[in-house]
Homo-oligomer: A and B are copies of this chain.
Amino acid sequence: MKKITILLAILMLNFSAFAQQALWGGANVESPVINADGTVTFRYRAPKAVKVQVTGDFLPTQKMVFEMNGNKMEYDAPGVADLKEGPGGVWEYTTPFVVAPEMYTYTFTVDGNSVIDNNNVFVNRDIASLTSVLLVPKAGERSDLYAIHRVPHGTVSKVWYPSKTAGFDRRLTVYTPAGYEENTKTKYPVLYVLHGIGGDEDAWVTQGRATQILDNLIARGEAKPMIVVFTNGNISQEAAPLENSMDYTRPTMQLPQTMEGTFETSFPEVVKFIDSHYRTIAKKDSRAICGLSMGGFHTLYNTINYPDLFGWSGMFSAAIGVSDTSISPIYQDFDKKLATYFSKKPKLLWIGCGSTDFLIQANRDFMKKLDENKYPYTFMETDGGHIWRNWRIYLSEFVPLIFK
């Protein structure tokens, strides 16, 4: 066995010289660790650093003020805590509180420089930034939906569809529920799920944990088996970074602009592609749409511009109240389109927003309009602001309601 042990050692060493530290002594730092008492310890090795901090949404938020063109807006930023230096230059911080079951993101700041946790392989990309992930699951709590369990798993595919609007093929993420491949006669309803600004077709399955939420809700019998399509709302972009033919030579990512009506104009071509490539129930009442932030805005305009397409709509922290009618016909005749949509008796318009979200007032104004016209809708208000925690909650609430 000795010969094999040495071979394994040298194999691992050669497989990636970068892996040496993690494998062969070196720092040997474990971070993060969920302790038995429910607190969490974060560690970072930086022997020469003067100051190390952790910034994350597991800490109480701090109020920040954003100023632009003379306009001031208050917003919630993740909290910050200091790590303390210990033996071997390993800095450490243990929360003085039990960290509630949830999925969190965090980064370290080492002498003013933001870095991810280099002992944690769970990394999310969010717009142009990387963050480390801390998942605290607990049976019986909502965060349990975000964990992987030994239940039947759906298939998650990266699929390219031809976009006439864009003039090139574009990428979708498509979830087909467990059993889709075996039950070759069964047709399924379809939910379209839209990301926020800066996101792409990967966002909901990474930060949103949508695959796990769907697997778990379907396995529990709390949601119908359904096909779920995650679009890329940046119409000028083929796909997420590294899958995009345009941006690999300049990987400092630029944000694509996209609240200009083109994505909504192109949406029927996505629906057409899905209905022709998957075993869908191609009917309004078996088709749903939802989205977060900019995706909530896209959801609203897809819903009212195509009143025969979606029976169920979910607006999560929707970025509404600012559409400029001069940009696109998609944003014109709002009240008239809204009246037509409700005259066709949609199954559900669901609205979710955080009580400290900077968009709560815009959503309240929209609901006031709905109330004045006696248009039916469902509203869920949660704690907190414009954050992924809320969007995972809204998806978990919306999915069990649809296709019933």
What residues of chain A have their CB less than 8 Å away from a CB belonging to chain B?
Answer: 1-19, 21-23, 29-34, 45-50, 55, 64, 66, 68-69, 71, 73, 75-78, 105, 107, 110-116, 118-123, 125-131, 133, 135-137, 147-150, 152-153, 155-160, 168-169, 171, 178, 181-182, 196-199, 238-239, 241-245, 248-253, 255, 257, 259, 277, 293-294, 319, 322, 324, 357-358, 385-387
Contacts and interface: CB of A to CB of B under 8 A. Distances in A.
Each complex incorporates copies of this chain amounting to: 2
A221 to B, nearest CB: 19
Given A18-B129, A68-B6, A118 B115 contact: yes
Best-surrounded residue of A2, A47, A122 (most CB of chain B within 10 A)? A122
Contacts of A78: 17-18
A75 B197 contact: no
B248 A122 contact: yes
A11 B71 contact: no
A250 B8 contact: no
A46 to B, nearest CB: 5
Contacts of A125: 121, 123
A118 B130 contact: yes
Contact of A251 (B18, B29, B122, B182): B122
A76 to B, nearest CB: 8
Nearest to A131: B18
B47 A112 contact: yes
Contact of A241 (B10, B69, B121): B121
B4 A324 contact: yes
Contacts of A10: 66, 68, 73, 75, 358
A7 B48 contact: no
23 contacts: A4-B259, A8-B257, A9-B66, A15-B197, A15-B198, A16-B131, A19-B127, A19-B128, A19-B198, A34-B250, A46-B111, A48-B113, A115-B118, A116-B118, A116-B130, A119-B252, A121-B130, A122-B251, A123-B123, A123-B125, A136-B249, A147-B248, A148-B245
Contact of A126 (B16, B197, B239, B251): B16
Contacts of A29: 252
B169 A245 contact: no
Contacts of A31: 252
A250 B33 contact: yes
Contacts of A34: 249-250
A32 to B, nearest CB: 7
Contacts of A13: 66, 75
Contact of A15 (B22, B33, B64, B127): B127
A159 B169 CA distance: 23
Given A14-B385, A121-B251, A319 B127 contact: no
A150 to B, nearest CB: 6
A126 B21 contact: no
A137 B198 contact: no
